[in-house]
Amino acid sequence: MFNHFPFLHGVDAPMYYVALMTFILIGSSVTMVLAVDAGHHMKQKKVILYMFLTIIGGAIFVGSQAWEWKNFINGEYGAVETHGGQILQFVDNTGHRVALENIAVAVPGEREQHQKKNGVWYNGEKELPTYSMNEIIKGFEAKPEILVRTQILDENGQKTILSREESLAKLKAEGRNIVEGANLKHNEYGTPLFADFFFFITGFHGFHVFSGVIINIIIFFNVIIGTYERRGSYEMVEKVGLYWHFVDLVWVFVFTFFYLV
């Protein structure tokens, strides 16, 4: 699911972008150390330069995180959720995933979204998915090369791909609704629990990076107006530096447990 890279559409780039983000964050940590070191030698100009680079690195990181959230939330292929909450994905006969838009056929007479203004006025409903279950099932019947992939792992640790008959039976008997993208309740890529953990942990970390950038900016302006030059010590730069390294340290663990393991 983390196979996207900016401006490279449709290119399979596993983890490249998150690796780049990691480098940017470590790099901003390095410029922070350099700023602290320049502060020890009371070199105001150098502190300004290195703190500026640190802030830029942090801002790029937060922006990248937001971009990744956008990809995850919007999803790419879409999937069907069963009554038991399992995810059924669609693959072609080469094992590549197929998007819902390539499966669905338009079925006339589909229902419209029930809005507050119609009928019982205080009862609205959530936005309907792009396709209905009926459209997906009809489209699936019409395209014989498409199969269903379940989340159950076989003995080699691969996700099981059902035969054509099994696929159709499973889809009709157990399919409940369409899932597009991920949120705290549904996740087209796998279990909702992973999405929960992912949003919770990276959200917390991203918030810390964001606050770190804000604090860095405050200290950055203090450096520019010469507060620490008058005070005779750049200890505040060192303190925000410690916070910044802490955020970097946490990212090292987040990177391992959410992207690698």
Partner 1 sequence: MAHDTAHGKDPIKRIWFVFALLSIVTIVEVILGIIKPAFLIENTFIKMKLLNWIFIILTIYKAYYITWAFMHMEGETKGLRRSVVWTAIFLVCYLVTILLVEGDYIYEVYRTGHQAWDF
Q: Using CB under 8 A as the criterion, which residues of the chain lie in contact with partner 1 when the complex forms?
A: 14-16, 19, 22-23, 26-27, 29-30, 32-34, 37, 40, 82-84, 86, 157, 174, 235, 238, 241-242, 245-246, 248-249, 252-253, 255-256, 259-261
Give the amino acid at 184: L
Q: Rounded to whole angstroms, what are the CA distances from 153 to 48, 85, 185, 190?
A: 53, 16, 22, 12
Max Cα-Cα span within the chain: 79
For the chain, how many helices (H) and strands (E)? 7, 5
CB 85 → partner 1: shortest distance, Å? 8
Which backbone phi and psi does 51 adopt, to 5 degrees?
-65, -35
What length does the chain have? 261
Chain position carrying tokens 């596993």: 14
Based on CB atoms, which residue is closest to partner 1, 79 or 98? 79
CB 182 → partner 1: shortest distance, Å? 20
Q: Rounded to whole angstroms, what are the CA distances from 43 to 99, 223, 229, 239?
A: 56, 10, 9, 17
Based on CB atoms, which residue is closest to partner 1, 23 or 221? 23
Based on CB atoms, which residue is closest to partner 1, 138 or 176? 176
CB 29 → partner 1: shortest distance, Å? 6
Based on CB atoms, which residue is closest to partner 1, 45 or 126? 45
- Reported as type and span, the H/E element at residue 160 is strand 159-161
The tokens describing 222, both together, are: 């203090």
CB 29 within 8 Å of CB 227: no
CB 83 → partner 1: shortest distance, Å? 7
Based on CB atoms, which residue is closest to partner 1, 23 or 200? 23
CB 115 → partner 1: shortest distance, Å? 33
Based on CB atoms, which residue is closest to partner 1, 218 or 249? 249
Based on CB atoms, which residue is closest to partner 1, 130 or 158? 158
CB 101 → partner 1: shortest distance, Å? 27
Question: What is the arrangement of strands in the sheet containing 79-82, beginning at the earlier edge strand?
Answer: 159-161, 147-153, 87-91, 79-82, 175-179
Chain position carrying tokens 């942090």: 58
CB 143 → partner 1: shortest distance, Å? 25
